[in-house]
Structure 1
Amino acid sequence: MKIRIILTLVAGLLAGLGPGVASAEDWRIKLFPDETDKSMQNLMTPVGAAIQIGGGVSDFTNDRMRDRTEPAGSWQVRAVIGTRSVIAGELAYVGTAQDITALGLDRDTTLVRNGLEAAVRFNLPIVRDEWTLEPFAFVGIGWARYDLINDDFNTSDVRENDDVGVVPLGGGFSVSYQNFMVDTRLTYRPTFDEDLLRGGGGSDNWAVTGALGYQF
């Protein structure tokens, strides 16, 4: 009953996108891909694969880091295998950049993060004709490198660079039509082995992002 209500609401939101898109009765959960489905006919892979490019906003959760930084702009490139199956794999490059201020640090300094992440993703594909709606959750492991750039001097408690381990986890929602898709997600990244601030201070962070993708 709850699933039918959710599908009805989503179908109503999609009503203006095209003829027949809003009929909730024709939407169905498809846990395993079927080559006879219209949603699969434009894809070259049996489970669906995609390349996504996007961005968003990110920030630290630790008070010591937030006191020294502004929210970050975030960008990402992600490869997904299994967009049309219940279990998928993801490999992503994730970057951020944000202003940082601290006593003894050049005011023009920017804190830049670059990292790689791999994740297992759990999908709930809901299909109708060439449309797919897909809530998902994910958890993974990764590495990130923080660097201070544009700093001519630094006698502060912020180190010039730091390599940290990350555990990306979260959830999101994607909408796809034929080969094209839109992906939105909320990610929380607990970190370990971090040492960016002298005297301690975690690098845990969150991000809200969106991406455009192409499936094949």
Structure 2
Amino acid sequence: MTRLVFSATFAAGLAFASTAVAQSPATSGDQQQPDTSNSDTNTNNSDTSNQAGPTETNSNSGGITREGNVIDRTGQSTTDPASSTAPANEQVGAEAQTTVVTTPAYTPAAQTNAEEYPYSTSDAMGIGITAGGGAGGFTNDTLRGATNVGGEWDVRLTLGTRTPFAAEVSYIGSAQSIDALGLDQDAMLVGNGAQGALRLNALPGEAVTPFVYAGAAWRHYNVRHSGPNVSDVANSDDVLEVPVGIGVAGHVNGLLVDLRGEFRASAFENLTERSGGDDGFVFDAADPNAGMNRWGVNASVGYEF
């Protein structure tokens, strides 16, 4: 009986051991079997990466990013530690391209001093209108003895008050008493005419400038009297005058002041004959008529544009 029980127990143990041995390889194979789906996926990804090559993307930080590498503008390649698919020793160089834009330096416009006047524009030329008067008389002996120092007046337009050269156009007038046998005691010798002159400014553009001038004028003389003229003095005469003079002009805030003195040589006089002897400077010494050369000083004021 005992032997029968032992035999049954031994047989059961062999059967259990055989079952354990048969199940152990299958379990171990199940545990060690690799995940073919993941492996296939990785293999496909690896093949795709190797076939497509590295991928380049632009980086906002100023470089070119290639998978696994960052290329800066200087051409240096640095490995991106976040990427593991690109080879660690791959370096891609890129030449830096720099565009230089040169902007011309700003040059401010030249500032013109308010006290200085350039000569290139009509506005800076200077235009003056003046009116004034003074005193004057004859220099030749005959008429100097027959007349008194009288008054003179003028109205003048000047083009170029601020430039080296200026042009003047003037109306001229004069009046003085004349005393001759056969004339009324209140007889007057009145002259009216027109004049043109060229002027040279010594200090153009300055507030005050000396100047010299010369020109030509025509003057018509008329003897005004209340009674009949029974003298040897003609009632009227037209003469040519050549004025030369010197003066000084000043202009401040549009106000123009002009002071000048002059000598006026005359020609073609027929007012009266010489009283005899040397009559002073005349253009024609053989002419029997008295010379009518004049001197004058005057001042005028006006406005400068």
**If the length of structure 1 is used for normalisation, what is the TM-score?**
0.78
The one of 295, 299, 302 equivalent to 1:206 is 295
Give the number of the structure whose residues are more often strand, by fraction. Answer: 1
Of the three residues 36, 39, 52, the one matched with 2:112 is: 36
Are 1:50 and 1:214, in contact at CA under 8 Å, matched by a contact in 2? yes
Match of 1:181 in 2: 256
The answer as to whether partners of 1:39 and 1:178 remain within 8 angstroms in 2 is: no
CA distance in 2, matches of 1:37, 1:163: 49
Deviation at 1:150, TM superposition (A): 2.6
* CA–CA separation in structure 1 for the residues paired with 2:263 and 2:113: 34
Report the AA paired with residue 122 of structure 1. Answer: L
Superposed counterparts of 1:90-105, under 5 Å: 90-105=168-183
Counterpart in the other structure of 2:247: 172
Equivalent residue for 1:159, pick from 214, 230, 234? 234
Contact in 2 for aligned 1:39/1:177 (Cα 8 Å): no
How far the C-alpha of 1:178 sits from its partner, in A, is 1.9
- What residue identity is the alignment partner of 1:101? D
- Please say if 1:136 is aligned against 2:211: yes
SS of the equivalent of 1:202 reads coil
Which residue type is aligned with residue 211 of structure 1?
S
Deviation at 1:180, TM superposition (A): 0.6
Distance 2:261 2:253 in 1: 25
Task: Please state whether the residue corresponding to 2:257 is helix, strand or coil.
Answer: strand
1:146 is matched with which residue: 195, 214, 221? 221
- Equivalent pairs, count: 178
Tell me if structure 1 keeps the 8 A contact 2:163–2:205: no
Partners of 2:113 and 2:153 in 1: CA distance: 33
Structure 1 equivalent of residue 74 of structure 2: none
Structure 2, unmatched stretches of 5+, are 1-110, 274-287
The CA distance in 2 between the partners of 1:39 and 1:57, in whole Å, is 34
- In 2, distance between residues paired with 1:49 and 1:127? 12
Counterpart in 1 of 2:7?
none
1:190 counterpart SS class: strand
Write the deviation string for residues 159-183 of structure 1: whole angstroms up to 9, x where unpaired: 1000000101111001111211111
Higher helix share: 2
Q: How far apart are the structure 1 equivalents of 2:252 and 2:226?
A: 46
Task: Say if 2:269 is the partner of 1:194.
Answer: yes
Asked if the contact 2:197–2:214 (Cα under 8 Å) also holds between the matched residues in 1, the reply is yes
**C-alpha separation between the residues in 1 aligned to 2:161 and 2:191?**
27
Please list every run of 5 or more consecutive structure 1 residues that lacks an aligned counterpart in the other structure: 1-34
Q: Which has the larger radius of gyration?
A: 2
CA contact (8 A) 1:55 1:210 kept: yes
Relative contact order (alpha carbons < 8 A, sep ≥ 6): 1 or 2 greater? 1
Distance 1:179 1:202 in 2: 41
SS state at 1:168 partner: strand
Q: Where does structure 1 differ by over 6 angstroms across 4 or more consecutive aligned residues?
A: none
Instruction: Choose the corresponding residue for 2:141, options 63, 68, 72.
Output: 63
Structure 1 Cα separation of the partners of residues 156 and 205 of structure 2 = 23
TM-score, normalised relative to structure 2? 0.56
